[in-house]
Amino acid sequence: MTSPALVGIRTSGAPTDRDPGARLDRWQRDAGVTAVFMTTQSSAGYAATPHERYYRNTILGPPAGGTDVLQPLVAAAATREIDVYSTLTEATPPDQARRVPGWVETLEVDLFGRRGRLPCFRNPDFRNWWLSVSEDQVKSYPLAGLLFSLDREDPLTLVLSQRAPGCFCTFCQAQADRQGIDVDRAREGFRHLLDPAGPTARAVAGGENPAVVLFRLLLRFPDVAAWESLWMQGYLGLQQQLYGAVKAIAGQVAVGWQVPSSYASSPLRRALDPQADRARYADFLSHATLRRTPVEHGVLGVSRQTADAFAAAVLGDVLSLAPADKADPGAGQPHSYVQIAHSSDVAVAVATGADGVIYTEHLGTDTEAAELKSAGLAVLRRGDTP
């Protein structure tokens, strides 16, 4: 790892623990922790205090506040010179649609016109809600940074897994029209891929090479590929807007993005979202994993074993943070941090050139104290502590 090395740990805190000092002392002593990544927005709710004045530009209003676990953590960390980062995920409580008026109207719309599980990145109220949460946090707490976790699957990945893709809401269709993308042709192409009795499925079942069949469909329906790009523009566009907003308010606050575990296993995601391009709107990237996930199901008639062998040959088993993809602090590129779930993960992080490690939340529990200490020793042996 290159300097400056970060040794972080994820935590969601404990609402009943009003004095987190003991935990911080143990993490600092046993694992050399220099930063805590506190999850404040998740399916468990909002673990900070929302301030209504920041939410006037969205019908969604402030997140439902519970016990403020962030404030005591920030206070305790300050006396120990430990930085605190707020982690914001897209996960929401299961009754979100019932509790938040207007939430349903922001949800994605799939190929068949059905409402999805999460809001559309292009929905103005959803965008403004994220901007409001970000402004609220950086103005209300002395944070070292924000870590955003916006983990979605792109349309082609969904359809190749036999799931209906999105988003076909009015905002996405309007953007498609502006870019000259034929919405009806995109829909037709996706339907061909989804239809188990359609010409695409019949061609594969008849023994034709699945890759050839897929490329033929994309050439016949170029709007399918265009829709994939359109979706990614919305996905990254929100991230770019959030980065700019946070930097305008508090330039010293670091802004980072969680890179989902699927990234290491998807050539499509790597092609659509090259990490080198993140320099424009990221101070750091937190990789959920660098290991490729084995293929679990066949794709377009290709067996699981064949698909997995192909993926291994194309991607390798470990994502390399090569100079083209990796942070270069001297060039103003984002730092690359890797999450550590086991002490053996440290060697992988070092071998791939990560700039720091972030221990996963389970390592911070009392039951995993020995494993956290083991991981901390592995980091120390590598000379990666500041």
Strand pairing class (35-42; 45-46): antiparallel
User: Mean pLDDT in the chain?
Assistant: 88
Residue 94 counted as domain residue: yes
Query: Between residues 275 and 308, which one has the greater pLDDT?
Result: 275
Predicted pLDDT of residue 353: 82
Predicted pLDDT of residue 161: 83
- Would the pLDDT of 196 be above 90? no
Residue 76 counted as domain residue: yes
**Overall number of domains in the chain:** 1
Give the range among 25-29, 127-131, 140-144, 343-347 with minimum mean pLDDT: 343-347
- In the chain, the DSSP E strands lie at 6-11, 35-42, 45-46, 83-89, 107-109, 115-119, 145-149, 254-259, 284-287, 335-340, 356-359
Q: What is the dihedral of CA 279, 285, 289, 290, to 10 degrees?
A: 30
The residues with which 45 forms a beta bridge, in sequence order, are: 42
User: Domain range spanning residue 247?
Assistant: 6-151+234-381
Residue 198 counted as domain residue: no
- Would the pLDDT of 255 be above 90? yes
Task: Show the tokens assigned to 242.
Answer: 């959030």
Residue 242 counted as domain residue: yes
Q: Can you tell me the distance from the alpha carbon of 327 to that of 329, in angstroms, rounded to the nearest whole number?
A: 6
Residue 361 counted as domain residue: yes
- CATH number for the domain including 64? 3.20.20.80
Predicted pLDDT of residue 1: 45
**Cis peptide bond N-terminal to 386, omega within 30:** no
Range among 107-116, 193-202, 206-215, 275-284 with highest mean pLDDT value? 107-116
Q: What is the mean pLDDT of residues 216-220?
A: 92
Query: Between residues 226 and 385, which one has the greater pLDDT?
Result: 226
Model-level pTM?
Answer: 0.90
Predicted pLDDT of residue 362: 93
Residue 275 counted as domain residue: yes
Residue 224 counted as domain residue: no
> What residues contact 241, with CB distance under 8 A and at least 6 apart?
127, 131
Residue 220 counted as domain residue: no
Kindly calculate the radius of gyration of the chain based on its CA atoms and give it in whole angstroms. Answer: 22
